[in-house]
Amino acid sequence: AIQLTQSPLSLSASVGDRVTVTCRASQAISSALAWYQQKPGKPPKLLIYDASSLESGVPSRFSGSGSGTDFTLTISSLQPEDFATYYCQQFNNYPRTFGQGTKLEIK
Amino acid sequence: QVQLVESGGGLVKPGGSLRLSCAASGFAFSDYYMSWIRQAPGKGLEWVSYIRFSGNTVYYADSVKGRFTISRDNAKNSLYLQMNGLRAEDTAVYYCARDQDAFDFWGQGTMVTVSS
């Protein structure tokens, strides 16, 4: 199974900061990567698919990049509602796998 | 609007069985792949199983292979997960999700607790 390693696993930041989360795959997955945001007690919400395509309705301050084994999720200017846990997920093959999650907290 | 509503969770003893259901609405259910994904308390996300349009092709995580069975009834716009031989480590919130490689819509989840 393809392993996804996220870093950092936790991050403290302030409103207005630019934040980057990375996801590294254990083997090349082309652009078959998605990013999700999850808030406590809620299901995950799709933010980015195909590594860099913004899901409809997601604010443009979210962006994704990368291909092969190295990927990033960037939030250009943190808003209060962005404090949550973020997961990457690969869909290059089965089993589908997720990263461990990155918890973004308010500094 | 797209809606996915899971049901069937609960408390079950180790070795027991449960059948989860997911009622879909707001989209052409038979045109979409579907998956089950779970999340143990305080833990990350784990994909569980996948099913194609007519149910002819299914995949499972190794952790549930041979114990869980995914199925669907397109006439009823419903997805199912039959869980047998449940273990403590199966305790989790179970989500159904529309699968377009990325999971673009998720239900609210149903809690399964395996404990004696």
Is the pLDDT score of B55 beyond 90? no
DSSP state of B63: T
d(CA B18, CA A85): 29
- Contact criterion met (CB below 8 Å) for A102 and A20: no
- Contact criterion met (CB below 8 Å) for B99 and A30: no
Name which of A44, A50, A87 is nearest B106 (Cβ-Cβ).
A44
Average pLDDT on B81-86 reads: 98
Non-local (6+) Cβ contacts of A57 within 8 A are: none
A5 shares contact with chain B (CB less than 8 Å): no
pLDDT for residue B25: 98
Average pLDDT on A75-102 reads: 96
Contact check, Cβ <8 Å, A43/B109? yes
Is the pLDDT score of B70 beyond 90? yes
List CB contacts (< 8 A) between B109 and chain A: 43
Tokens 């007519």 -> residue:
B54
**Tens digits of per-residue pLDDT, B9-25?**
999 999 999 999 999 99
List CB contacts (< 8 A) between A54 and chain B: none
pLDDT for residue B54: 87
**Tens digits of per-residue pLDDT, A8-59?**
999 999 999 999 999 999 999 999 999 999 999 999 999 999 999 999 999 9
Nearest CA to B54 out of B70, B79, B30, B35 is that of B30
d(CA A55, CA B32): 18
